[in-house]
Amino acid sequence: MDKIEKKLNELDEAIAEAKEEQSKLGGMLETLLKQMEERFGVTSIEEATELLKDIKKKMEKSEKELEKKYNELRENYEW
């Protein structure tokens, strides 16, 4: 009987710890979502993901344009 009681107490402690951790993580998530909205104007993870995709596409386009301009300069001017 003592073993069962001990095991139940251990499980109860584990549940309490998990609830506390869940509460902390929930608060962190809320803070991060608020920061995303303030900084980037997005209100959900899905919107943030789409914004990130758009930014990556723009960066790739800019990199290609920069490389193109650089190559044009090298062709037109000897270094």
pLDDT tens per residue, range 25-69? 999 999 999 999 999 999 999 999 999 999 999 999 999 999 999
| Residue type present at position 74 | R
CA distances 27 to 8, 24, 34, 35, 47, Å, are: 29, 5, 11, 12, 20
Mean pLDDT within 62-78:
93
**Is pLDDT of 78 > 80?**
no
Question: Using one digit for the tens of pLDDT, what is the confidence trace for 2-24?
Answer: 899 999 999 999 999 999 999 99
Q: According to the model, what pLDDT value does residue 47 have?
A: 96
Give the pLDDT band (50/70/90) at residue 79: low
